[in-house]
Structure 1
Amino acid sequence: MSLDNQSNSDSQSLQSQAPRKPPFFFREEYSGLIVKGNFMTLAAKPKLVEEGEWLAHQVVEQYRLLEQMIDIIKVVDERTSKPICNPDVCPTMSASGHTYTWLDNQKKPIKIPAIQYINLVQKWIVGKINDPTIFPTDTTSPGFSAAAYASGSLTPSSTPLPVGPTNLNTPLSALSGREWLGKSSGFPETFEADIKSIYRQMMRCYAHIYHGHWLEPFWNVNAYKELNTCFIHFINVGKLFGLIGDKEMEPMQPLIDLWLAKGLLPQAEAQGSTQQGPAPGTAT
């Protein structure tokens, strides 16, 4: 082997041994936000609001923000005449070594393109929010529109307005027994498991958006700070109320750690009282 070839070989060997730089979105210089302030204040439950009502509001609001980010990756690229996220560039729903599968009609996990997975998640979440047995709503309240849920485009004014659980003729004996999140506001016993499942699916969408589309389109259209702002708010609520666990956050943990170090997120995760319920997708 010639000296030149040996030198090139040594150089390539050193490069292969050098630590790989983290993705741009895991670096402090790209972790900025579009707003300043304490996100814990935004997530904190008002004293006079029942926790089930507050979390119902938060889940709807978090989906509204995520929906705006999803709309960005659905924009049609003029060069390809296809959405930015399409089966050619994203054949699976994946993020940082995690591949998320969907359960088919036979309850078997299958791999599907990311955009198909995300579309199914959106339909599933809107179906949950629009289900009065999960998110009971008072349709007689001023300003309420059931169509706002069914459309899949949730606005701040279309948050759930829970109905009281009883009337004057309900015996006191019916109020005794098991307690659960939101019981006093009329939410079902499965409510906590349902919103944790919704949160888990939203986390997967955020993870794919970052790992698959941070550069194109968010960096290229200078919208990465908007993405960061939506995501830190999402994580803040999830950690504060125990809606999401470490396993689900794993693909985005380096960015979360940056924000933790800056004191922008709560250090300790709240403990939920109900185990997470099944979701339509599974991770492999």
Structure 2
Amino acid sequence: MSVDSQGAQEGLAPSNARRPPFFFREEYAGLIVKGNFMTLAAKPKLVEEGEWLAHQVVEQYRLLEQMIDIIKVLDERTGKPICNPDVCPTMSASGHTYTWLDNNKKPIKIPAIQYINLVQKWIVGKINDPSIFPTDSVTPSSTAASYASGSLTPMSAPQPLGPTSLNAPLAQLSGRDWLGKPSGFPETFESDIKSIYRQMMRCYAHIYHGHWLDPFWNVGAYKELNTCFIHFINVGKLFGLLGDKEIEPMQPLVDIWLGNGMLPPPPARQGKENTASSNQQGVSA
């Protein structure tokens, strides 16, 4: 499978070429499935949000891993993986170059395939860490004090506590709250999954900008890539796991899907006054 002659020339053109990359065009934004991806991402009513997001992060990594496997296939012409240090000397995408922290916490530029391998090892380590992604059910013996006395049992002698307001939300009356607390996830859970999502976003951005033509277009797999990516973006936007800055290298493709109603629209601004205030402070919706 090959692109037309004009497209092939553009695929080799410098980044300042007039036409955008293939994947930023309507005709190449198709998917392998039809349906509402927002339905796939929506949390079931009876599932706790931390549990749902843990499931989503693991599933999104499984899909990304399949796309990464494609760029690791050996090129018969060179005997090297399609993504290798000669082709991709840095982890980059659309003018963005991502660095890794060395043992001295100093940012360094490394080949994309090395960066991706480190990301995969890091994510797998996070997912398999029971202190971050607990697998055991939460029981009273493994949680903080369950009763107002500060005891795990209702028969213990009451202990004096500070004054509370019975009109306060239940989460406040029971102490500090965080995402996933009812299911036993740690206080760092939200920041952990956001960090994982940010690294996965960088991998997708490099895959598109560095390898959309070779191999995804050449092997007819670009719609599979689009399908994995739109699902990833949908979950990230719906649950606030990704910011505009992280999405920036792929924003034109996201805008195409937004325009087609395939992704949830950005939240509406609250009134003209708030809009003006946000604009003055440089804060986006």
The TM tier, using the shorter chain, reads 0.7 to 0.9
**What are the Cα deviations for residues 142-179 of structure 1, in whole angstroms up to 9, with x where unaligned?**
xxxxxxxxxxxxxxxxxxxxx21533994424682110
Does residue 135 (structure 1) correspond to residue 109 (structure 2)? The answer is no
Q: 2:52 aligns with which of 51, 54, 57?
A: 54
1:19 Cα deviation after fit: 6.8
User: What residue in structure 1 maps to residue 88 of structure 2?
Assistant: 90
C-alpha separation in 2, matches of 1:165 and 1:176: 16
Matches within 5 A, 1:32-181: 32-138=30-136, 163-164=137-138, 166-167=140-141, 170-173=145-148, 176-181=174-179
- In structure 1, runs of 5+ residues without a counterpart are 1-17, 139-162, 271-284
Runs (4+) of structure 1 exceeding 6 A deviation are none
- In structure 2, runs of 5+ residues without a counterpart are 1-15, 151-172, 269-285
C-alpha separation in 1, matches of 2:37 and 2:71: 26
1:132 Cα deviation after fit: 0.5
User: What residue in structure 2 maps to residue 246 of structure 1?
Assistant: 244
8 Å Cα contact 2:140-2:146 kept in structure 1: no
User: What residue in structure 2 maps to residue 5 of structure 1?
Assistant: none
1:269 Cα deviation after fit: 5.6
User: What residue in structure 2 maps to residue 157 of structure 1?
Assistant: none
C-alpha separation in 2, matches of 1:69 and 1:30: 17
C-alpha separation in 2, matches of 1:168 and 1:114: 42
Does residue 220 (structure 1) correspond to residue 194 (structure 2)? The answer is no
How large is the Cα RMSD of the aligned pairs? Answer: 1.9
* SS across alignment from 1:181: coil
User: What residue in structure 2 maps to residue 204 of structure 1?
Assistant: 202
C-alpha separation in 1, matches of 2:226 and 2:267: 20
Percent sequence identity over aligned pairs: 85
Which amino acid in the other structure matches residue 67 of structure 2? Answer: M
1:21 Cα deviation after fit: 0.2
**What are the Cα deviations for residues 71-126 of structure 1, in whole angstroms up to 9, with x where unaligned?**
00000001000000000000000000000000001100000000000000000000
Which amino acid in the other structure matches residue 84 of structure 1? Answer: I
Which amino acid in the other structure matches residue 138 of structure 2? Answer: G
The structure number with the bigger radius of gyration is: 2
